[in-house]
Structure 1
Amino acid sequence: MTRRQGSGFHLTRRTFVATGAAALAMPAVLTSARAQQKFVAKIAHTEAIGSPLTNAFEAWTKTLNEKSEGRIEAQHFPAGQLGKLGELLEGSRIGTIQVTTAGPDSEEAIAPEIAAFGGAPGFIYKDEAHVDAVLQGPLGEEASQIARAKTGVEFVAYGETGFRHVLSKSPVTDLATLKGLKIRVPELRIWVDFWKLLDANPTPLPYTEQYSALSTGIIDGLDSDLYSIIGFKWHEQAKNLTMTYHWFLPKAVRVNAAWLDSMPADLQELVRTSAKEHFAEQRQINRANTQKALEELKGLGVQVNTLSDEQRAEWAKLTEPLFADFGSKSPETQAMIDKIRALG
């Protein structure tokens, strides 16, 4: 109790001890409240439902929710449910969504020196071992640091959709049959230039519009990994697949850096570590099941052609000038292209 004396107040020893104990307890209360703060993670992308990449995001979502004991509320929105790729990329930069995925080539306008990591400008990756040497080593970490500084996202891991091939309404067996083909390309100049050098007719379109564009004749074909062809049912509109292996597409798992930095250290570690684990497994699954996906497409009535090594070399030679053109964006861009090619 307090004793009134004159105009002031005097604390009894009991009150003083109680007050002091309460004060000492306040940091613990604040720490507990902070520990229970919830961090919402909207994970949104345009990958097909049922693909190895989408399955990996689904598993990662579950891990974030369970291992954070509810401190992270992860929500998964695949197949363009929250918007087109360009909208999701911008959302990940400004933080309206927390996680998406895309090839590093999507940063061509902002950070051209890391665009080459996404397969630009074609034939830059020799094989899967080359991809791993680049992205799972120091260069992959360097790309993430550049992305953080220039775009506001961190590449916490790299998944993949694998090599891309040409799906078309009429067979593409050589350069003559490719000539004039209206082929959908990402809305990136480097891919317009790539197909122009091969004498095709590149048509930039959003990723999610490819089915309707095939059905209406806006495009005659597209290039894609096998899993997306199945997942988005593009094979219903185009029955000819040419195995070209012209572009390997890694998928950077892009996390908004400000959101990541706002979390306690243990949750930041959980996001980074669990992402690397899940997408390492995704890469293994993706590669192990490629032949199975190809056989599934054959069973769906798709006719399969394969470019010979000599034909692929001819395609690569015709598009070789793009490396110098792309590298001319900056000395850093050319240096990065040289580093990537040196590892192959």
Structure 2
Amino acid sequence: MTSRGIKISRRGFIAAGTAALASPAFIRHAKAQEFVCKIAHTEGIGTPITNAFDAWAAAMNEKSGGRIDAQHFPAAQLGGLAEALEGSRIGTIQVTTAGPDSEEAIAPEIAAFGGAPGFIYKSEEHVDRVLQGELGQKCSDIARAKTGVEFVAYGETGFRHILAKRPVGNLADLAGLKIRVPQLRIWVDFWSLLGTAPTPLPYSEQYSALSTGIIDAIDSDVFSIVGFKFHEQAQHLTLTGHWFLPKAVRVNAAWLDSLPEDLRAMVRETAKEAFAEQRRINRANAAKTLEDLKGLGVQVQQLPAEELAKMEEKTAGLFDEFGSKSPETAEMIKAIRALG
């Protein structure tokens, strides 16, 4: 065998080829492709959902054999919720989390899965019947088709309550209360019907807004109150459970589709495992965290049942109003409530 006039024996050719295969340059070239997975969200450090993302990122890195490089940026390190949502849609980040109600403008039929418009979820068991079954998969399918993200799992922050600078013991105490709301129309309407002065603000601005008096109150789960130290600025917690917030684990669909089949399956499987454990921990630790808040000086009271009934009655019309966005939205609200 010759090459450019140089005579090479067959044995020499095979030896040369073997040497080339073993060379560092060839090994670098043959190394499996690495897929960067930036996980960015606004959840607090040390909260069950942030810990679940830590566990999930570690599982992806390990089980992919290094082919996925999962990087975790909690507590709004890469921007607020609006930036995280947009980034997950266009692929500048690969993963974030938010309530399905964040899709109100794009896919109103799945916004109700995020607890909108209040009092839609009756218990944790009700949440599981909805999100861990056929409806939860349907929600993910719609999100993929309309927003470019896939809901690979559902975590949760749990039931939300009112944290205020002054005591709230009944509906009359809500009059004129400047309460922070998500930048979503449905929550402005919800709190307006209850007589408050709803103030739309990004999630990351709540602490400073409480400090400066821009707002008098927020609604929050107990873990976030501790994680973001909201109790330093407001020390009256009224248990209402008006809103249960599931957290969809949102993966950019184009990134997910770019993975080899085995990695796609692994990403989905490990997400479900990590966030099943997150839900278990969240529910097991809620009562303890409430006691921790009391130890931090927070005054806790349960809103009386008759006052809760009034809250629900005053806002019940939002189901019809929200459902009027489309026949699909009305059908989805009906299906969620039927499982309660």
Match of 1:303 in 2: 299
Cα distance in 1 for residues equivalent to 2:141 and 2:119:
25
Cα distance in 2 for residues equivalent to 1:164 and 1:178:
16
Q: Does 1:94 align with 2:90?
A: yes
Instruction: Give the conservation status (yes or no) of the 8 Å contact 2:100–2:114.
Output: yes
Partner amino acid for 2:242?
Answer: H
**Equivalent residue of 1:190, what SS?**
helix
Deviation of 1:33 (Å): 6.2
Cα distance in 1 for residues equivalent to 2:63 and 2:305:
47
Match of 2:194 in 1: 198
Match of 2:157 in 1: 161
**Equivalent residue of 2:71, what SS?**
strand
Cα distance in 2 for residues equivalent to 1:244 and 1:211:
21
Match of 2:130 in 1: 134
User: Cα deviations across residues 234-293 of structure 1 (Å, max 9, x unaligned)?
Assistant: 100101000000000000000000000000011001100000000000000000000100
Deviation of 1:132 (Å): 0.2
Q: Percent identity?
A: 71
1:1-344 correspondence runs (5 A): 1-2=1-2, 36-344=32-340
Deviation of 1:229 (Å): 0.4
Distance 1:2 1:228, change over 3 A: same
Cα distance in 1 for residues equivalent to 2:70 and 2:88:
15
Distance 1:36 1:127, change over 3 A: same
Cα distance in 1 for residues equivalent to 2:189 and 2:313:
14
Cα distance in 2 for residues equivalent to 1:60 and 1:12:
53
Deviation of 1:305 (Å): 1.1
Partner amino acid for 1:157?
Answer: A
**Count of aligned residue pairs for this structure pair:** 330
Cα distance in 2 for residues equivalent to 1:69 and 1:136:
29
Segments of structure 1 that go 5 or more residues without pairing to the other structure are none
Cα distance in 1 for residues equivalent to 2:334 and 2:9:
75
TM-score using structure 1 length = 0.92
Distance 1:305 1:34, change over 3 A: farther
Cα distance in 1 for residues equivalent to 2:29 and 2:64:
15
**Equivalent residue of 2:97, what SS?**
strand
Cα distance in 1 for residues equivalent to 2:74 and 2:146:
26
Segments of structure 2 that go 5 or more residues without pairing to the other structure are none
CA RMSD in angstroms comes to 2.1
**Equivalent residue of 1:247, what SS?**
strand
Deviation of 1:313 (Å): 1.4
Deviation of 1:13 (Å): 11
